[in-house]
Amino acid sequence: MEPKSTLEKLGKKSISATDIASQFWCEKQMELNYLYGRKYTKEMAKGAEIHAELHAETYVPLAIEPINYTDFLYKEFYENYLSLKGLKEKGVGREIKIYGSINGFRIIGKIDELRIEKGNVVIIENKTKETRYALSEAVVRPHKIQVMLYKRLLDDIIEKRYTGENFENTYIKGLKPLSERFVDELNALGIEKELQSIEGIYKKMFGEIYTMPQVSNSLELHYIDRFTGQKVESIKVTYDKEKLESLLIDAMKYWNGEVKARPVSEEEKWKCRFCRFYGKECKVWYDGTL
Ligand code: SF4
């Protein structure tokens, strides 16, 4: 029997931008989170609440319940199309899903915010933090990589390195048709015929990306206080394509199965103090002194 690929081992079909960012905090911890299940902490719940509040400001849902998987994807693409359209109309779009590929792996991401500023699209990633902790480079680095990755994925679509055909082969080929009830409801909502197919809607979604203003090289990280929901700090990140590519080559070694999940380096073993696997599933730096 063929040995399992890394994705199979983790029970995944695609790699998320968050997975890649987490590799730059601790790759081993990212892997253990999949193997042992992510623990939903109070901090995460608060972060999710803040994200949901921001999303609700711009979100226009398609109020139809999907019946089959094709309906589900349709709904996802339709809402994404509306968010992208909203970006041009209102100057801001939130929670925009982005699809792409790196080294043949399916990559997905969800961009917190796109904003039009001085005629360019600015990518913004919102993170929650506790004000009592200062932001260190170790904390910010994965966020910088995440936001740079979003820029790379958007550019790949705009510059046609990741085409509609690539997308179709990955997500559309072999799908069942939309369910009849779903189509009836699309009709009832007055959605034009041209948009009543999964091909029609994904092309429209891609069309919005092709026609968006230039995506700025200046990316932003916004840190929001976990308790008050107020923005407390902003960091500007300049997109460095070469640097990102070399980091991705390194990250992909794990997904290719070339290397096993790497723990933090000795200089960064302080991170282990915040890790729930320390001394249990991971004993790399465990000596009972931390
Ligand atoms: S204990 Fe340390 S090295 Fe091990 S998974 Fe956690 S952070 Fe990584």
The tens-digit pLDDT sequence of the chain (290 residues) is 677 899 999 999 999 999 999 999 999 999 999 999 776 666 666 667 766 676 666 666 777 889 999 999 999 999 999 999 999 999 999 999 999 999 999 999 999 999 999 999 999 999 887 777 778 899 999 999 999 999 999 999 999 999 999 999 999 999 999 999 999 999 998 999 999 999 999 999 999 999 999 999 999 999 988 878 787 889 999 999 999 999 999 999 999 999 999 999 999 999 999 899 999 999 999 987 65
Rounded to 5 degrees, φ, ψ at 253 are: -55, -35
CA–CA separation, 14 vs 5, rounded Å? 12
Nearest residue (by CA) to ligand 1, atom 3, is 263
The number of the ligand 1 atom at minimal distance from the alpha carbon of 269 is: 2
pLDDT digits (tens, 9 = 90+) for 78-96: 999 999 999 999 999 999 9
| Protein fold of 6-274 | Lambda Exonuclease; Chain A (3.90.320)
Contacts of 234 (CB under 8 A, 6+ apart): 220, 221, 222, 223
The number of the ligand 1 atom at minimal distance from the alpha carbon of 271 is: 7
Residue 61's pLDDT is: 72
The number of the ligand 1 atom at minimal distance from the alpha carbon of 276 is: 6
Q: What pTM was estimated for this model as a whole?
A: 0.91
CB 81 within 8 A of CB 70: no
The kind and range of the H/E element at 78 are helix 69-90
Nearest residue (by CA) to ligand 1, atom 7, is 272
- Ligand 1 center to residue 40 CA distance, Å? 18
Rg for the chain (alpha carbons), in Å? 20
pLDDT digits (tens, 9 = 90+) for 117-160: 999 999 999 988 777 777 889 999 999 999 999 999 999 999 99
Residue 58's pLDDT is: 63
Integer angstrom CA distances of residue 53 from 49, 57, 94: 6, 7, 11
